[in-house]
Structure 1
Amino acid sequence: MVVGDASLDIDTLVIGAGPGGYVAAIRAAQLGQKVLIVDKSELGGVCLNRGCIPSKALIAAAHQFESAKHADAFGISVENVTVDFAKTQEFKNGVVKKMTGGVAGLLKGNKVEVFNGECMFINENEARVFNDHESPRYRFKNCIIATGSRPIELKPFPFGGRILSSTEALNLPEVPKSMIVIGGGYIGAELGQMYSKFGSKVTIIEGLDSVLAGFDKDMTSLVTKNMKKTGIEIITGAKAESAEQNDKEVTVKYSVNGETKEVTADYLLVTVGRRPNTDGELGLDLIGLDMDERGFVKVDHQGRTSIPHIFAIGDIVSGLALAHKASYEGKVAAEAISGMPSVVDYKCIPAVVFTDPECSSVGYTEAQAKEKGHKVKAGKFPYAGNGRSVSLNHPEGFVKIVAEEGTGLILGAQIVGLEASNLIAELGLAIEMGATLEDVALTIHAHPTLGEIVMEAAELVMGHPIHIIAR
């Protein structure tokens, strides 16, 4: 408790304890800074509590449920497979508790002071933090703002009742019989497919011509195929217009090619993107921080804002809203504060979607590489040519490598298939270290593993594949 209105002195104030903020706080503390981290909600932010981690726990459970229903492919008979969704939610909550507890332990172990409450700037060098019990004021030398983002709420579809954001969709007490999803981006695709596997009749309404529009269509076509296998109806080129709900269901009106239609379900999930948390009582306008018209904070290559000793990272700055991007930016900002020459380089930040099959990408796509003026060569090696994927009964997918013609320098890679989220790391490392096709091809990969597909893809682009016929 602070006596009077005196300020406490710290080196670095971190606002937001998500994967950007808590990583920044730990790195800053490791570098000798006296750090205070403030968050009005839970440690771990949206990612650990209402996003990445709980969604992947439920997706993993959905995979297990579907696998049990189709175990006959392995000669295993399983009858009357059921799901107790209350226990599934207990599993998910247990995972979240374990991970957030781990963050608390890491902050304590690195001697980071934690304050659970709101934060408001008084001026460029002072902020007041407050909750129901106390309201100390801190004077800081540097600050890292990592307040994250929240789901975009559309006026025709206000959250509440049977109209859900991703937060409510992760906490339903039972599997709904039916669900409408507005938005076929990564959140809508992941959660829609997850509930479909649990038995919901899912309808996805997407304004563009395909789901997962940020990925190549030869990748998303495999996802779409699997979605349709579980009964998902995908309506593209559609504009959602209005919704009416009662205590039992919700009806959505939408239009396609000028024709108005409607669909009814137990719930409506709206996933049309996220907006930065730069408004509200934080007081960014009070200190005159430069922001763009969408509310993103303008920063330089170290995360430094228009006020030199204040940094911004994660979802409140431009770029993809990815937890690992926020963590990376947090490390750079903490190191910049300590005088290190660290700068951001987004070339090797992977994008991953945990659909079935998984999709991942790093570096340039073939089209992007050509747009950048590179002469490229590229090739796709299919999962079907890999012994491990076939023995796991998951032969769908491919690894595609994009390389510079002549030098063989790897410029990018895209993977769709089992464990694509893990396999992309090797190719991210290859791009980061300036590796060539030959470097990857000459790296002996254990057999039988999915990792061999990466090696085979490199050999394919070089022109001498072993396990498929070169064309």
Structure 2
Amino acid sequence: MVDEDDSIETDVLVIGAGPGGYTAAIRAAQHDLDVTLVEKDAFGGVCLNHGCIPSKAYISATDTAHDAKQASEMGIFADPVIDMTKMQEWKSSVTSKLAGAVEKLCKANGVTLVEGTASFVDEHEVRVTYRRENRGRSSVTFDRCVISTGSRPIQIPGFDFTDRDVWSSRDALAAESVPDRLVVVGAGYIGMELSTVFAKLGAEVSVVEMLDDALPAYEDDVTRVVRKRASELDIDFHFGEGASEWRDTDDGIEVITETEDGVESVHPADKVLVAVGRQPVTDTLGLKNIGLLPNGNGFIETDRHGRTSVEHVFAVGDVAGEPMLAHKASKEGTVAADTLADKPTPSDTRSIPAAVFTDPELGTVGLTKSDAEREGYDPVVGKFPFRASGRALTTGDTTGFVRVVADGERGTILGAQIVGADASELVAEVALAIDVGATLEDIATTVHTHPTLSEAVMEAAENAQGHAIHTLNR
């Protein structure tokens, strides 16, 4: 770690050590470039410390407890006791281990690490304000730069994250006790994942969403499966309502919502979690000093190599636009690093999968049938239900299905939508198929291990061709 110094000179400056930033830094160093990585909070970024990893740790822990309670059909009878303090300690140990590993990997690859906030002075210099107390500033001069400052939760009027009873997703993941009543504002992937976690921890959960459905980015037959399971967990949905204010009551708080027609509703709670999305972090960068301004959505625009309108400055990850996914950031980080090392490898966002870790999980990649039709394809669709999967039956969870979409003329795989156990893992096979231009025949004739859930992907490909074995062909 670098101590305070008047000036640091480097080939490549990376601002932000999240998945996009530390990946860019390591890859650039592997190209024998001198790399300096500046991070203002914690190595690994929001994903590792306050987002992806801690939320999945909580999801795994609460799933374990919930599954044990529901296993009587298997002859297992249990009533687990949840110790939130112990769960927090375990979750923190996971994030600390990974953050430490990121720091060690950076150092092992020769990356110079600086703890502080970087702001551009001009096109080849930043000023770093150190995060430690009683520290001053220093400058870093660079030839090329990668911006990877990530995103933060969006606040809505009247719900300030500094208020005691208003949670951001970060606050929810740091909670040391479970509120009896939790109102969640927003039914996107963050709101739905955390609603599921707290419902399984025993909270009475109400979800308020201005739109008319949960997970609006996904197809209805996919989200319907998740909504059904959420209802079984007694999660209460209130669609068409926007949160307008909250106030204290004698026994907690109440959240006031309003419809487009002005009809108000009152939702009693002990905490309110605001999960209406995330916004890119650019306000600390001093972008105007290099003539680089965010677009109307707050993102820094780039080409497919990550290069901004300032030729030697790149941007990757959440700050560079949708989809705001950690694995997309990592891919963009390597692409940018390769490009600035004169070894360009353009990024292809079509084969970037997305996953939602609800119960059950969602995994999607590429085009839906309607997407394919809009792009001029004559698509064919194959579907396989997990209720017909031998492996799913042995796990006790047969909810959901695999659906693959292909070009009807050539059979080339265009996309997939998976809802069910381990959907986040299964979707990788289809992402690879899209990336290499594989066909339905390629997947269908690849021998899949039996009994596994991945056989459902093979069967869906066979179904699209009209010759699935374990489900009816229609």
| TM-score above 0.5 | yes
Deviates more, 1:105-114 or 1:247-256: 247-256
CA drift at 1:36 = 0.4
Q: 1:149 — aligned with what?
A: 151
Q: 1:12 — aligned with what?
A: 12
Contact (CA 8 Å) 1:290, 1:305: kept in 2 or not? no
Of 351, 361, 373, the match for 2:376: 373
CA distance in 2, matches of 1:238, 1:291: 31
Contact (CA 8 Å) 1:299, 1:317: kept in 2 or not? yes
Percent of residue pairs identical: 45
Contact (CA 8 Å) 2:157, 2:244: kept in 1 or not? no
**3-state SS of 2:137 partner:** coil
What pairs with 1:370-409 in structure 2 (closer than 5 Å)?
A: 370-409=373-412
CA drift at 1:175 = 1.4
Residues 301, 247 of structure 1: alpha-carbon distance in 2 compared, 3 angstrom cutoff: farther
Q: 2:104 — aligned with what?
A: 105
Aligned amino acid, residue 285 of structure 1: K
Residues 247, 57 of structure 1: alpha-carbon distance in 2 compared, 3 angstrom cutoff: farther
Aligned amino acid, residue 42 of structure 2: E
Aligned amino acid, residue 234 of structure 2: G
What pairs with 1:29-428 in structure 2 (closer than 5 Å)?
A: 29-78=29-78, 80-131=79-130, 132-159=134-161, 160-245=163-248, 249-256=252-259, 258-280=262-284, 282-428=285-431
Q: Alignment length, in residue pairs? A: 467
CA distance in 1, matches of 2:33, 2:340: 9
CA drift at 1:136 = 2.5
Contact (CA 8 Å) 2:17, 2:45: kept in 1 or not? yes
CA distance in 1, matches of 2:124, 2:197: 46
Aligned amino acid, residue 68 of structure 1: A
CA drift at 1:2 = 6.7
CA distance in 2, matches of 1:318, 1:248: 42
Contact (CA 8 Å) 1:290, 1:306: kept in 2 or not? no
Give CA deviations for 1:260-288 in whole Å, capped at 9, x if unaligned: 110111100001111111113x2111211
Q: 1:455 — aligned with what?
A: 458
Contact (CA 8 Å) 2:386, 2:401: kept in 1 or not? yes
CA drift at 1:469 = 1.8
CA distance in 1, matches of 2:65, 2:414: 38
Q: 1:470 — aligned with what?
A: 473
Aligned amino acid, residue 157 of structure 1: F
Aligned amino acid, residue 271 of structure 2: Y
**3-state SS of 1:154 partner:** coil
Contact (CA 8 Å) 1:162, 1:245: kept in 2 or not? no
CA drift at 1:71 = 1.8
CA distance in 2, matches of 1:226, 1:62: 15
Contact (CA 8 Å) 1:289, 1:306: kept in 2 or not? yes
Give CA deviations for 1:249-307 in whole Å, capped at 9, x if unaligned: 22111124542110111100001111111113x21112111321222111111111111
CA drift at 1:406 = 2.2
CA distance in 2, matches of 1:92, 1:246: 33
CA distance in 2, matches of 1:283, 1:459: 54
CA drift at 1:133 = 2.6
**3-state SS of 1:438 partner:** helix
**TM-score, normalised relative to structure 2:** 0.96
Give CA deviations for 1:134-172 in whole Å, capped at 9, x if unaligned: 433221000000001100111121112101100101111
CA distance in 1, matches of 2:119, 2:211: 40
CA drift at 1:332 = 0.6
Aligned amino acid, residue 268 of structure 2: T
CA distance in 2, matches of 1:207, 1:8: 49
CA drift at 1:65 = 0.8
CA distance in 2, matches of 1:419, 1:340: 36
Contact (CA 8 Å) 1:375, 1:404: kept in 2 or not? yes
**3-state SS of 1:104 partner:** helix
CA distance in 2, matches of 1:161, 1:449: 46
Aligned amino acid, residue 207 of structure 1: M
**TM-score, normalised relative to structure 1:** 0.97
CA distance in 2, matches of 1:50, 1:247: 32
**3-state SS of 1:188 partner:** helix
Residues 248, 43 of structure 1: alpha-carbon distance in 2 compared, 3 angstrom cutoff: farther
**3-state SS of 1:20 partner:** helix
**3-state SS of 1:394 partner:** coil
Contact (CA 8 Å) 1:14, 1:35: kept in 2 or not? yes
Give CA deviations for 1:385-443 in whole Å, capped at 9, x if unaligned: 10000110010110000011121111000100000000000000000000000000000
CA drift at 1:82 = 1.6
**3-state SS of 1:291 partner:** coil
CA distance in 2, matches of 1:2, 1:388: 57
Aligned amino acid, residue 296 of structure 2: E
Aligned amino acid, residue 367 of structure 2: Y
Aligned amino acid, residue 66 of structure 1: H
Unaligned runs of 5+ in 2: none
Give CA deviations for 1:354-411 in whole Å, capped at 9, x if unaligned: 0000001101011100000001110210001100001100101100000111211110
Deviates more, 1:396-405 or 1:115-124: 115-124
CA distance in 1, matches of 2:195, 2:413: 34
Aligned amino acid, residue 230 of structure 1: L
